[in-house]
Amino acid sequence: QLQLVESGGGLVQSGGSLRLSCEASGITLDYYTIAWFRQAPGKEREGVSCVSYGAPVTHYADPVKGRFTISRNSAKNTVYLRMNNLKPEDTAVYYCLAAYDPYEGICTTEINEGPYTSWGQGTQVTVSS
């Protein structure tokens, strides 16, 4: 069974950087699309970024374009989210999600959680102004 564990969150000042990690165990991430979502207090969960397995295809939500970078390391069975120039509005719990996607059709400009079947427990990111 696929298990996902996020890490790397923390408290950072506005303009700072963090790198989140999503480490998988139980199953290799071959042919899995991975996405990062976030949920701020009082707000709905929103898709941040996704990455497919093969090409790989990547997409970003508009609020994070140019600041966040998603990547994956197959040898470590881990996906990363590098977050630069952080803003207070980036404050949220960040989750990684996985979906078996051998045809690479899930990671699109619309990052929706529907296709994803595995979730991590989340990691808190707090950006102070």
Could you report the per-residue pLDDT of 92-125, keeping only the tens digit for each? 999 999 999 999 999 999 999 999 999 999 999 9
What is the per-residue pLDDT for 55? 83
pLDDT tier at 84, thresholds 50, 70, 90: very high
Could you report the per-residue pLDDT of 25-59, keeping only the tens digit for each? 999 999 999 999 999 999 999 999 999 998 899 99
Average pLDDT over residues 63-72: 98
Tokens of 45: 């969960």
Average pLDDT over residues 16-22: 98
Backbone angles phi, psi at 16, to 5 degrees: -80, -175
